[in-house]
Amino acid sequence: MDPYPGTTAVAANFETGSLDGRLQLSTTGTGAASLSSAAAHSGTCSIRLHTTTDPDSLAKVSLGLDAGTREIYADGWFNIATEGPVGNNVPYLRIFSGGVRIMDVFRQNVSHELVLRTTTPQGFTYTSLAPNVRNGIWHRLVMHVVPNGPATGVQIWWDGRSVFDSNTLNIVATTADTVQLGSEHDQQKGDIYVDDLVVNGGTGVPGPIPGVLPVPKPGILKRPGEVDSGTHSEFLARGRDGLNRPGDTA
């Protein structure tokens, strides 16, 4: 059960101690990607992605979508504990088609802006979505993406508030095949925790953009043996500031 149209690719809070079968961790060099009990939005576990400025340092989680996916909902909680140097960024969600990144949302280092980057036939376009996203704080990001060439639709919610919607973005793809957490290139320093992740892909007729953020249903991310004590929307609203990890620096 989840609130989004299409097929559930993943709905996980990582409390079982293992990854969903469709999530693939990948690291090189000094990069590290693992389940961690050092921080969590809910429960006690999350995914931790750690990279440094060393050459070949990379950490990411990839999720393959069904062939012919024409609509994506990606919903997760993110906490950036450590940022990288000026001129670089720490990624949240990235969407690919045929091995090409068609768009992503990231937090720019130093300026702390939340940014949407879109790959157009002419190059990259950048849109600022929110200012001053603080380190060490849990934030919820939801993306609704309908790849459709020059009529591509995108809607983005940040902490429950709509911050972007358009159905006239121009990309070359009409389908998507991969959702990624973390970076596809090395030396993108950062420490990011990811929790309560839901991704759906649809191959049918996409929903409208702009559209309403679907209301989550109870029990979508319920831990084994847990009894529902409220709606999932209440569950998603319960964050906790900071990572409660002695010695962490922003």
pLDDT tens digits, one per residue of 135-178? 999 999 999 999 999 999 999 999 999 999 999 999 999 999 99
Instruction: Show the DSSP H helices in the chain as ranges.
Output: 232-237
Q: Pick the residue with more confidence: 125 or 236? A: 125
Domain assignment present for residue 180? The answer is yes
Domain assignment present for residue 91? The answer is yes
Look at the chain and report how many structural domains it folds into.
1
What is the pLDDT at residue 1? Answer: 56
Bridge-partner residues for 11, per DSSP? 198
Domain assignment present for residue 2? The answer is no
**Looking at residues 37-60, what average pLDDT do you find?**
93
Torsion 138-39-112-117 (CA) sign: negative
Domain assignment present for residue 33? The answer is yes
**Looking at residues 13-33, what average pLDDT do you find?**
88
Domain assignment present for residue 247? The answer is no
> CA 157 to CA 41: how far, in whole Å?
18
pLDDT tens digits, one per residue of 107-134? 999 999 999 999 999 999 999 999 999 9
- Smallest CA-to-CA distance from 98 within 67, 128, 139 is with 67
Pick from 67-71, 82-86, 134-138, 205-209 the range whose average pLDDT is largest: 67-71
- Band (pLDDT 50/70/90 cuts) for residue 183 is confident
What is the pLDDT at residue 216? Answer: 65
Asked whether the predicted pLDDT for residue 229 surpasses 60, the reply is no
Asked whether the predicted pLDDT for residue 106 surpasses 70, the reply is yes
E strand spans, the chain: 7-12, 23-28, 32-36, 46-51, 58-69, 71-82, 89-97, 100-108, 114-120, 123-130, 139-146, 152-158, 161-169, 176-182, 190-202
What is the pLDDT at residue 22? Answer: 87
> CA 58 to CA 242: how far, in whole Å?
24
Query: Which pairs from 107-113 meet CB under 8 Å and 24+ separation?
Result: 107/80, 107/83, 107/133, 109/83, 109/84, 109/85, 110/83, 110/86, 112/83
- Band (pLDDT 50/70/90 cuts) for residue 20 is confident
CATH number of the domain that residue 133 is part of:
2.60.120.200
Domain assignment present for residue 95? The answer is yes
Task: Classify 20 as helix, strand or coil.
Answer: coil
**Looking at residues 48-72, what average pLDDT do you find?**
95
Asked whether the predicted pLDDT for residue 223 surpasses 60, the reply is no
> CA 2 to CA 229: how far, in whole Å?
17
What is the percent of the chain where pLDDT is above 90? Answer: 69
Structural domain including 230 reads 7-237
